[in-house]
Structure 1
Amino acid sequence: MTGHATSQDRSAETFAEVLSTAIRERGITLSRLHARLAERGNPVSRATLSYWRSGERRPEGAQSLAAIGDLEEMLDLDPGTLLDRLGPTMRTGPLGSTAFPFDEDPTEQRVRETFLAMGAAYPDPTRELTIHAVTDVGPDGRVLRRTTRMVVQATSGVVAAIPFVEITTGEPTPQPGFEALGGGRILVRHTHPSREVHGFMFELDRPISSPETTMIEWAVVYPAGFPITDGTGHGVAFQSRELLLWTRFDPGWVPDWCEELEETPAGLTVTPRALNGALSLHAIRRGFGPGALSIRWGQGERPEPS
């Protein structure tokens, strides 16, 4: 019989035993698992996979634990089949380099002040593993709404709430509406005196301890008086597993040009994009960060790079 193993089948087996059995039953090599994990932004060496399979070592650290969910999917195991056998750990392992995802020093200071005003630590002890952000552009070319769904991970201690900010560098704006759609509720809202940074605290349904993960979803709704913007994006302070942006345009307002911007400590890369008759455009990165990924658009002539 094929299919997922039941809890009765493997309830007494260790992580290594379940992993070894699943690899053998699926007939997949460690080299293939290594390649597929790398494609998903969670590279694990063949030697490490061998250690996990034999039981000589166990997964530790944020990057390794993030790969376990991929392994469960690749090996056709129920979610949690491997992760639940690891038990608690206080290690998050190396998180990679961290950096504020934008290079404007005044903006970073305003974000820091906004965090502190909301009672949040700066930087906060979480990282965003998977981010899917959907932006809807209305018939007048104005961004109406952005919905973000993400998997977040505690990197130290216990996390009960997570701060987020909306940034409009160089242009004071009214506070947009923040709505919790799943995984918790909006606890605090705060607008920086500059009116260029608007923040909110997302209180989780249940506090998580390092290195636990949880999924949350929220929306930003832009009021009628909010300035028309020509782009949308998302920045991460740590490396993320996957960052996906999807922008959808109203049929009554289709841009003449689009471009993708990737900003990292190494610099800024701008890539022209085309709709080719479609009404939406997406950009995706795996194993991305620290940095920011954006989509920008407009009608008329594309502006010359500054």
Structure 2
Amino acid sequence: MEFAGALRQAIQGSGLTLERIRHRLARRGVSVSVATLSYWQRGRSRPRSRSVVAALEEILQVPAGTLTGLLDEPPGPGGAVAGRGAAGWSDRADRARAAADLWPDPELYARVVGQLDRSADHRLERLSAHDVYRLDASRRPRSLSVREVLRAIGDDVDRVVCVHPLALPADAPADGAPRADLTGLRYCRAGRIRAEAGLMAFELVLDRVLAAGDTAVVEYELVLPADGPPAADYRRRFHRPVRDYLSVVQFHQEMIPARCYGFFQETGDAPRERLGELWIGASGSAHIAAGAVRRGVLGVEWEWD
């Protein structure tokens, strides 16, 4: 049986209205609209979050696996489900390769990020991303604060995966243990965290499940290793476009660089294209602001006397 038919039977057997089901899901901290539930039982869309479907099984009082066991069932000849047919899986693999090309070690990126749930990545768009990168008096990076505004372009989006490089000493052990503290979480909570050889990736679980058109805000801070090497740039890698991006580099008041520039790269190993010199203000900071950032690497670099 297909998922939609099984869900429809379970709902009919429970005697619950879609509004009651929505209410009971909400009491469990799961936000799913009545329209989305209707789409699921009619086969117009499919849930992507197993935890949501598992909660549905409990609410509808059907045996565990009755619905979750059908999530990975391939679609019948009557219609394709996005990301499930051969073409869908091929597209997903292409996206993964495209993202890895932005990093100096694509195999490391694929290995670390592959341990996390990125199934909703293609159903999220970033409306804005704002970074604040802080250096100490020894020119070492100390923290990174991030604020992102997200919008779902599909149903059942419950998390976002974030990836950041960590500047580690040459003798740092590559044991996979995180070398930065993930803190300052707002409007989300931490999921799985993975790190290896100077690359850190983690899931941020949203405070509600998004349906298509819903927006969410996430904020977090990385407290970076105090024994890392001095930094000469900060860059953000975009494997998908973002409508609005702001990067602020905050220097220590006792250590201000002579010059600052913005730059762009098509891929991780492509030549840098300088975007012009950036003003270092009285606050000891420089910033770059951009709208409609396309895929690639956007950053700030600086030179010391």
Match of 1:293 in 2: 298
Q: Which runs of 5+ in 2 are unaligned?
A: 1-81, 83-93, 173-177
**Cα distance, 1:295–1:221 mapped onto 2, change above 3 Å:** same
Match of 1:167 in 2: 165
Whichever residue aligns with residue 134 of structure 2, its letter is: D
TM-score by length of 1: 0.58
Match of 1:273 in 2: 277
Whichever residue aligns with residue 145 of structure 2, its letter is: T
C-alpha distance after superposition, 1:123-148 (max 9, x if no partner): 55322210111111111111111101
CA contact (8 A) 1:129 1:153 kept: yes
Match of 1:213 in 2: 215
Distance in 2 (CA, whole Å) between partners of 1:111 and 1:161 is: 19
Distance in 2 (CA, whole Å) between partners of 1:190 and 1:275 is: 36
Distance in 2 (CA, whole Å) between partners of 1:112 and 1:240 is: 22
SS in 2 for 1:270: strand
Shift of 1:151: 0.5
**Cα distance, 1:214–1:272 mapped onto 2, change above 3 Å:** same
- What count of residue pairs does the alignment treat as equivalent? 204
SS in 1 for 2:179: coil
Identity %: 18
Shift of 1:249: 1.2
**Cα distance, 1:276–1:200 mapped onto 2, change above 3 Å:** closer
Shift of 1:116: 2.0
CA contact (8 A) 2:246 2:289 kept: yes
Match of 2:231 in 1: 229
Shift of 1:230: 1.4
SS in 1 for 2:134: strand
**Cα distance, 1:291–1:274 mapped onto 2, change above 3 Å:** closer
**Cα distance, 1:125–1:135 mapped onto 2, change above 3 Å:** same
**Cα distance, 1:234–1:140 mapped onto 2, change above 3 Å:** same
SS in 1 for 2:111: helix
Distance in 2 (CA, whole Å) between partners of 1:188 and 1:214 is: 19
SS in 1 for 2:113: helix
Distance in 2 (CA, whole Å) between partners of 1:105 and 1:274 is: 25
Shift of 1:100: 3.8
Distance in 2 (CA, whole Å) between partners of 1:171 and 1:110 is: 18
C-alpha distance after superposition, 1:223-258 (max 9, x if no partner): 212222211121222221101111111111111222
Alpha-carbon RMSD:
3.1
